[in-house]
Amino acid sequence: MSISSKSWGRTPYREDILLFTLENSAGCKARISTYGAILNGLEIATGEKNIDVVLGFNSLEEYMNDGNYLGATVGRVAGRISNAVFELDGQKYQLDRNEGSNHLHGGKYGFNRRNWEVLELQAGADSPSLTLELHCKNGMGGYPGNLRIETTFTLSGSTLSIVHRAECDSPTPLNMTAHPYFNLNGDGQTINSHELKIFATQSLSTDNHLIPDGGLIDISGTSDDFSEFKALGENAQDRFYVLNTQSEDTISAAIARAPESGLEMEICTNQRGVQLYTADGMTAGTKGSNGFQYGPRSGFCIEPMGYPDAVNQPEFPSVILNPGERYNHSTEYRFRRIS
């Protein structure tokens, strides 16, 4: 159908922010902000009505004041880095401490706080796409190396794909993710009745601060086991699931469904695992889009990524990007009616 844009305000640094809307021939719509490469909304056509399945805010100002990373593109490194420090090639790097003594989701200068540039628009009727670009300088947030990132959003039928690509001029950690909060009923109410299946039987062992300690846990038969569909309920934990299949191809990682709306979402990725988060840290009464108020468990995140704190865990698969390599992170959110 089309790609449209509108001015969405300015940052304190007098940067002009745009809000783009992708709309395709299937009747689906995705709204993306150049601020933070944020997914502001995702409307899925069900045949009866459109359901906006992503939590969001109405204004740029609300995103600039948000501490929940609603819909944001997260990096350089998603998740926590213990004590906000790591060593690379014999040199120690001190990062921002923005969660107690730890570093979370790229710190104060993370991708979610940056204004991305528009690199390319493709307005095909069936699969419109938007590519945003970001340059990160050596030393920003404490990270080494100059980095150039491209993130492409494509809306094809009832599928939204997000592809992150990047190159660097010296070795640097890079472990990006998309951070949309989903509610497949589109009502901002509790997601406890949503049913979830994750193609994983192991998770990372963590300490009391949710920092991995280097171990793997067999979660078969425990409350954290979502290898078969079951309701999220009130007990689902913030946990990193190691996918059963490791592949450079895009494979199925998880399926979520909402019996009330009859909508199902399959998440496919080429990453090693997914972080499950059920918004328990969101403040009750948070004013959201469409007139809804959000709070704990108003949405859930399934964040495809490499292992958290891999920079401090030598036994984990590396998240270091080297010059001459090309980072390629692909995730697809595929929507359909529950069969």
List the one residue out of 239, 233, 235 whose CA is nearest residue 219. 239
Q: Per the annotation, does 179 bind a ligand?
A: yes
Q: Per the annotation, does 180 bind a ligand?
A: yes
Residue 114 and residue 252: Cα distance in Å, rounded? 30
Q: DSSP string of 193-224?
A: T-EEEES-SEEEEE-TTS-EEEEEEE-TTSTT
Q: Please enumerate in sequence order all residues whose Cβ is within 8 A of that of 189, keeping only pairs 6 or more positions apart, or say none.
A: 183, 298
Q: Please enumerate in sequence order all residues whose Cβ is within 8 A of that of 165, keeping only pairs 6 or more positions apart, or say none.
A: 149, 150, 151, 152, 326, 327, 328, 329
Q: Is 226 helix (H, G, I), strand (E, B) or coil?
A: coil
* Phi, psi (deg, nearest 5) at residue 321: -100, 130
List the one residue out of 142, 115, 273, 137 whose CA is nearest residue 198. 273
Q: Is 260 a catalytic residue?
A: no
The one catalytic residue among 23, 43, 195, 303: 303
Tell me the one-letter amino acid at 235.
N
Both tokens of 83, joined, read 């004590």
Q: Per the annotation, does 181 bind a ligand?
A: yes
Q: Is 329 a catalytic residue?
A: no
List the one residue out of 226, 229, 220, 214 whose CA is nearest residue 274. 226
The one catalytic residue among 103, 105, 179, 194: 179
**70 DSSP β-pair partners:** none
Q: Are 280 and 300 in contact (CB under 8 A)?
A: no
Tell me the one-letter amino acid at 25.
S
| Beta strand 80-81 pairing with 103-104 | antiparallel
Both tokens of 45, joined, read 């056509």
Tell me the one-letter amino acid at 204.
L
Q: Point out the annotated binding site.
A: 179-181
Q: Point out the annotated binding site for beta-D-galactose.
A: 179-181
Catalytic residue ranges: 179, 303
